[in-house]
Amino acid sequence: MMEVHTPNATRRSTRLRVEIPASVISLDRRRPFGERCTLVIVSAQGCGFRSSEALEIETPIMLSGLPGGGSVTGRVANCLPLGNDGKYFLIGASLYTHGNVWGIANPPQDWNVAQDDPAPAATSAEPARVPAVSVSKKVWPYNLFPQGTEAHRGRK
């Protein structure tokens, strides 16, 4: 696992690169989807996973078979093609329930902070340190997007 720091401090929580298998299904009967996917990046608010199908923005989804047997619901926040062959897509999902639903041992400290609370939560024990790696836009996952084309729907 690797902690990912972006140049701008616009993220609500630290993203971690992972490889977690999960089942993803659509909760919208008008947009059927079901696939065994691999989560490639996770945070306290969402995740990114590789899929063989494009998913429409705002599609409600359920991720199940998570570590510990858990499941979580969310919505598709973005969908980007991986490569030019149309075989795979990077799907970004925003969770309805925030936190360490991924079973990450020693999660980043900012995963324990309430979404709207700017002050860190007080803890009795010192959290374990995750090695920080500073990345540039030329390093995965940022090199998937040509400069200036990554868009976050609904964010300013």
Tell me how many domains the chain contains: 1
Separation of alpha carbons 79 and 89, rounded Å: 6
> What per-residue confidence (pLDDT) applies to 111?
84
Is residue 153 assigned to a domain? no
- Please give the mean pLDDT across all residues of the chain: 75
Give the domain extent around 13. Answer: 2-115+122-144
Per-residue model confidence as pLDDT tens digits over 48-66: 999 999 999 999 999 999 9
Is residue 35 assigned to a domain? yes
Separation of alpha carbons 11 and 19, rounded Å: 21
pTM equals 0.65
Neighbours of 109 (CB within 10 A): 17
Is residue 152 assigned to a domain? no
Is residue 51 assigned to a domain? yes
In terms of pLDDT, which residue wins out, 148 or 94? Answer: 94
The first and second tokens of residue 18, run together, are 């992972």
In terms of pLDDT, which residue wins out, 123 or 61? Answer: 61
Is residue 14 assigned to a domain? yes
Separation of alpha carbons 50 and 29, rounded Å: 22
Q: At 134, which helix (H) or strand (E)?
A: strand 132-134
Is residue 80 assigned to a domain? yes
Is residue 156 assigned to a domain? no
Looking up residue 80, the CATH number of its domain turns out to be 2.40.10.220
**129 burial class (0-12, 13-18, 19+ CB within 10 angstroms)?**
exposed
Query: Who contacts 71 (Cβ-Cβ below 8 Å, separation ≥6)?
Result: 62, 63, 64, 65
Separation of alpha carbons 32 and 34, rounded Å: 7
Is residue 37 assigned to a domain? yes
